[in-house]
Amino acid sequence: MTQQTFPISGRHPRVVINGLEGQLNVQPWEKQEISVSTDGPVEVLRQDGDTVTITGCKSDLELWIPSSINRVFSSITTDIIGTALSRGASIERAGNVELKEVGGSVTLKDTCGNAELTAINEGAELSNVGGNLRAAHMPRLQARGGVGGNGTLLDIGQAEIDMIGGNLWVTSVGSATISTVGGDLDVEQVESALNCRTVGGNCEVRNSASAQVNVHNVGGNMFADGTLLAGLCNVGGNMKVQASFTAESRGRFHVGGNASIVLPENANLTVHAIVGGSASGPEAIYSHGGGFVDLVYGDGVARLDLTVGGNLRLSGTSTPRSVSGSDAWRNFGSDMANFGMEIGKMGRKISREILKSLGE
């Protein structure tokens, strides 16, 4: 059995682990020392300044690390850096955490700094990350509480995230459920589903033609390319959508600014729009200065309902076989512009509140 304690003089010590055959368990304490305990042999166990290096540990490894984050003027946080952990890891109240090539699962609780997790074989469960989050190459990710900074997700099977204080980038995920993003949301290649309640900034979704995408509130602009949008979406700024609009699709949008819809070839869609500005297609203007317009493409099986504070532009190769509308509402355009401003204010307020709550 190996048990050793290393004194720490600075405020940001770290532990570097390479090649662990057992489970990693990290707990905080108030002592200004790093305690190392393991039942098996260790190839390398040494201290260089405030860095403790552990290499080739043949059994479970238990660490007690300095953590006194509640002291305003003398806070101490310990970074954990681990590579090639054959089993799993449980870490509480560390500073920055960087783990790569973990054979089991990872549990992080109350991380004070950034969390970077790569190639986690059985996925990760996080609770409160104070800094940025980067997670890549794992079957599942669950992040409860909040992430104070930005988030990056790459090659995740299933992701569930409560709250991101900054921006969030998502690439190549099976499905993602996200409650709130304080900044911008940028998504590419979702396989099955994307659900997000609130985006304080802009939202962009690309190359997700087979996925069902439901984003409820966007404070800024919305852009969706090659994506099937479902449900109700409130957009404070402008919106541009290019989608397939399958027979089962039902989309509803409230857009404070302008809306641009790129229709597929041989569209089979009914569009019902209430517009504050003008509504137009490639070869015709359907409405001037505020009113409503109904357009039927093909048999009109799919349904798209729009409330647009600015102008509506429909483009593509399809031509409506039926057009009806009215320009009856003289003051509707200014009313819709006010509506858009209110949604934009909502998104900015949400972003500020998220950052404020995560900073407390």
User: How far is Cα 308 from Cα 257, in angstroms, rounded to an integer?
Assistant: 7
- Nearest-5° Cα angle at 294, 252 to 223: 40
| Distance of alpha carbon 173 from alpha carbon 158, whole angstroms | 7
Euclidean distance between CA atoms 264 and 282, whole angstroms:
13
Per-residue pLDDT of the chain (360 residues; tens, 9 = 90+): 789 999 999 999 999 999 999 999 999 999 999 999 999 999 999 999 999 999 999 999 999 999 986 645 568 999 999 999 999 999 999 999 999 999 999 999 999 999 999 999 999 999 999 999 999 999 999 999 999 999 999 999 999 999 999 999 999 999 999 999 999 999 999 999 999 999 999 999 998 877 888 899 999 999 988 776 777 889 999 999 887 777 777 888 999 999 999 988 888 889 999 999 999 988 788 877 788 899 999 998 988 999 999 999 999 888 888 788 765 444 444 555 555 556 556 655 665 665 566 554
250 in Cβ contact with 230 (< 8 Å): yes
pTM over 0.75: yes
Domain boundaries in the chain? 1-164
d(CA 250, CA 17): 52
